[in-house]
């Protein structure tokens, strides 16, 4: 007799062996014109630092041009292409990230920590802060920037100095889904990227956010708990996902958990098993993130997701 959960585990292990803990296929969602993703960021007329949503207005054109040029370079465009499309010169000073580009990621937020014009050089601007990205699969990434540029001359903007690097959260955003084992068994062989897995999970998951008066929860069945860490994480960070009878603390049972990482930093955890959904047999699923130790020393694990298999319990993440 066929054992669906055993076959699922076999497919999962085959998939993990193929992907390992490194990048699989990069998703490119083709989100339209590059410049459009930065249009409308507002710094208001007085050019003060702050945090501004992409939906605001009145962005000074020189800031928009410099940051759009940086985003184009991060997405793999040449300095020649940037100058042709934006009239921004010397964007070759913005070095693309080795082994990764931001194609398919839209800029959803800007955190501007510095915007200065030296008194003795009024045509120069210095800007610094963070670009916050998100793609159609809810993956999030952040890039820190520190740039100088001229706003006069033959080209409207000339970049004179640029330093950009990925920035990472101290506590990753995690979400949980419960997917029927049969759906995972059928869909997993077709998964070749984070986007494939995200769409499989989203379209197959059992609804968990149900009111207490809803129909009786389904009985025991082969299911797969899937936890997605939606923030990009660096090498050295650790994540842990497990099950527990207790909602307190970070400890949990993790022996059945399988992990896979996509595209240099997005991690998915999967726990196959046979269980019911409902208050009578409910248990907790804990997602824990431990950033790599830095100059400040060891960092304590942080509970970034606490989920229940009782559909009447709202998730905490």
Q: Which pLDDT does position 18 carry in this prediction?
A: 40
Q: Which pLDDT does position 58 carry in this prediction?
A: 52
Query: Hey, is 121 helix, strand or coil?
Result: coil
**What are 207's two structure tokens?**
């609804």
CB 240 within 8 A of CB 198: no
Say which residues have a Cβ less than 8 Å from residue 100's Cβ, sequence separation at least 6.
Answer: 23, 26, 263, 264
Q: How far apart are CA 139 and CA 26, in angstroms?
A: 12
Q: Which pLDDT does position 185 carry in this prediction?
A: 94
Q: Which pLDDT does position 263 carry in this prediction?
A: 73
| Crossing angle for the helix pair 79-86 and 61-74, to the nearest 10 degrees | 150
Cα–Cα distances in angstroms (integers) from residue 171 to residues 260, 279, 292, 300, in the given order: 19, 29, 12, 11
Q: Which pLDDT does position 91 carry in this prediction?
A: 96
Residue by residue, pLDDT tens for the chain (317 residues) are 444 344 444 444 443 344 332 222 222 222 222 233 333 333 223 344 555 555 445 567 888 889 999 999 999 999 999 999 988 999 999 999 998 999 999 999 888 888 888 888 888 999 999 999 999 999 999 999 999 999 876 678 999 999 999 999 989 999 999 999 999 999 999 999 999 999 999 999 988 764 444 454 567 899 999 999 999 999 899 999 999 999 999 999 999 999 998 877 999 999 999 999 888 889 999 999 999 887 566 789 999 999 999 887 756 54
Domains, in order of start, for the chain: 4-24+171-308 (no CATH), 35-167 (3.10.450)
Q: Which pLDDT does position 175 carry in this prediction?
A: 95
Residue 182: what are its φ and ψ, rounded to 5°? -65, -40
Pairing of β 105-116 and β 140-150:
unpaired
Pairing of β 88-89 and β 157-167:
parallel
By the 10 Å C-beta count (0-12 exposed, 13-18 middle, 19+ buried), 274 is classed as exposed
Q: Which pLDDT does position 268 carry in this prediction?
A: 97
Note the pTM of the prediction, 2 decimals: 0.79
């Amino acid at each position: 007799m066929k054992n669906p959960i055993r076959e699922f585990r076999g497919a999962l292990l085959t998939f993990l062996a193929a992907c390992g803990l490194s990048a699989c296929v990069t998703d490119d969602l083709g989100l339209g014109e590059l410049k459009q993703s930065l249009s409308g960021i507002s710094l208001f007329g007085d050019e003060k630092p702050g945090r501004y949503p992409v939906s605001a207005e009145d962005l000074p054109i020189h800031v928009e041009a410099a940051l759009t040029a940086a985003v184009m370079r991060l997405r793999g465009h040449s300095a020649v292409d940037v100058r042709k499309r934006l009239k921004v010169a010397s964007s070759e000073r913005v070095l693309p990230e080795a082994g990764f580009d931001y194609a398919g990621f839209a800029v959803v937020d800007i955190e501007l920590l510095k915007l200065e014009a030296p008194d003795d050089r009024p045509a120069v601007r210095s800007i610094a802060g963070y670009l916050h990205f998100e793609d159609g699969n809810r993956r999030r990434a952040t890039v820190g920037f520190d740039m100088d540029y001229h706003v006069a001359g033959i080209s409207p903007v000339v970049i004179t100095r640029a330093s950009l690097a990925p920035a990472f959260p101290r506590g990753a955003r995690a979400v949980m889904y419960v997917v029927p084992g049969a759906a995972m068994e059928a869909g997993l062989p077709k998964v070749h990227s984070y986007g494939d897995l995200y769409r499989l999970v989203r379209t197959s998951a059992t609804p968990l956010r149900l009111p207490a008066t809803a129909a009786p929860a389904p009985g025991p069945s082969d299911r797969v708990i899937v936890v997605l860490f939606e923030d990009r994480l660096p090498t050295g960070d650790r994540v842990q996902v497990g099950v527990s009878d207790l909602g307190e603390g970070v400890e949990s049972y993790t022996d059945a958990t399988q992990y896979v990482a996509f595209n240099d930093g997005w991690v998915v955890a999967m726990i196959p098993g046979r269980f019911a959904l409902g208050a009578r047999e409910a248990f907790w699923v804990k997602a824990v993130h431990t950033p790599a130790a830095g100059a400040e020393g060891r960092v304590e694990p942080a509970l970034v997701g606490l989920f229940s298999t009782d559909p009447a319990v709202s998730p905490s993440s």
